[in-house]
Amino acid sequence: MSDLAAVVERERAETAMDALAAEGVYDDSRSVRPYGEGVAVPVTAPPERVDVLEVVETDLPPRNRDLRDLLAARGWTDDELDRAPASWAVVGTCVLVRAREESLPRPDEVGEALLELHGEADTVLLSHGIAGEHREPDVEVLAGLGDTEVVHTEHGTRYALDLAETMFSPGNQAERVRMGEVVAPDERVLDMFAGIGYFTLPMARAGADVTAVEVNPTAYRYLVENAVLNGVEDRVSAFRADCRDVDAAADRVVMGYYDAPDYLDAALDALAPGGTVHLHATTPESDPWAHPVSRLESVAGERGRGVEVGDRRVVKSHAPGVEHVVVDAIVD
């Protein structure tokens, strides 16, 4: 047979594509397209290790990864094409685009073109950023069904969330993966700003015992749901509270919040001697380490504790001239 496709449930499309690629049968030269109530994923041979609904013969067009080509076919001018989104992320069954609405020509056509590019998706969202104490997203539906509740799979960790109510940063993926690699089984971890479980879930899946604290009630609901979804509910103790009000003893403290340096008193009160803190912050690109390191050393010094700074990482650009960074340190 030729032009084979494996049909999978729409909500499993992202995971199935990764599994088919790992088996070596995913055909990335052809597009993914809706098929009945599911999604047709192109394959070079019937899969043997991946569960699918059925394998069918169907014509799937060549995969076009160039948004500019699709928009040019819709009659966009060179000036309009230069203002088209340069990047986006597929989160579950949603395509998430970050762009200034006032600079984005024909937003509805951008949405339709992105759905054409990503047949596994059913909704395109334009993000206007994150705001407020609870870090709530502001998104607009550009195209598709408008269903913003998704299950996103990332290196085996499953995140259920509503992109219209809870934040999700694709640019933090490497850091989420890394946290699942640095913890040891049975290590005690305090995740002070857990959200839906961004760092909690990879660490718990690696065997750590995580105290996860989240003040946003919607994010907290997904945090609890995601612990069950990933089978780690026995290793996650979740609290809907201000992290400064939770008593915990930890070998490792994760501070995944831009204003985390303001919470170092509570972090070091929980951190056992010789423990590790992962301090996130937003800092000037010209001097990214001065403020978080000096603040950490100052708060530790007030407690008569020393600091050994280890790895320092730029996670992503936060804004022009501003970096999102992480400082890892051992505090004696």
Q: What mean pLDDT is predicted for residues 99-113?
A: 87
Which residues contact residue 5 at a Cβ distance below 8 angstroms, ignoring those fewer than 6 apart?
A: 35, 40, 41, 42, 43, 55, 56, 57, 58, 60
User: How much is the pLDDT for 11?
Assistant: 81
What pLDDT is stored for residue 2 in this prediction?
58
pLDDT at 132 over 80: no
Q: What pLDDT sits at residue 64? A: 64
Query: What is the CATH superfamily name and number for domain 169-331?
Result: Vaccinia Virus protein VP39 (3.40.50.150)
Domain map (residue ranges) of the chain: 4-57, 67-147, 169-331
pLDDT in tens, 65-88: 689 888 987 889 989 999 999 889
Give the number of other CB atoms < 10 A from CB of residue 57: 9
pLDDT of residue 139: 94
Assess contact for 216 and 239: CB atoms under 8 A.
no
Residue 145 has pLDDT above 60, yes or no: yes
Cα separation, 218 vs 220, in Å, equals 5
Q: What is the pLDDT of residues 37-61, one digit of tens each?
A: 888 999 999 999 999 999 999 888 8
* pLDDT higher than 60, residue 1: no
% of the chain surpassing 70 pLDDT: 98
Residue 134 pLDDT > 80, yes or no?
no
Q: Which residues are annotated as a binding site?
A: 169, 176, 214
- pLDDT confidence of residue 62: 84
Residue for token digits 């989160």? 91
| E-only strand ranges, the chain | 4-9, 33-35, 38-43, 54-57, 88-91, 94-98, 123-131, 136-144, 149-154, 157-162, 188-191, 209-213, 236-239, 250-255, 271-284, 307-319, 322-331
Q: List the binding residues for S-adenosyl-L-methionine.
A: 169, 176, 214
Amino acid at the residue 41: V
How far apart CA 279 and CA 260 sit, in angstroms, is: 7
Q: Does residue 120 register a pLDDT over 90?
A: no
CA dist list (Å): 252 to 81, 220, 265, 268, 324: 47, 21, 15, 10, 20
Percent of the chain with pLDDT over 90: 77
The Cα 73–Cα 332 span in angstroms is 62
Helix (H) or strand (E) holding 292: helix 290-302
pLDDT tens for residues 233-276?
999 999 999 999 999 999 999 999 999 999 999 999 999 999 99
Are 168 and 201 within 8 A, CB to CB?
no
What's the whole-number average pLDDT of the chain?
93
Which homologous superfamily does the CATH classification assign to the domain defined by 67-147? Met-10+ protein-like domains (3.30.300.110)
As a whole number of angstroms, the distance between CA 268 and CA 126 comes to 39
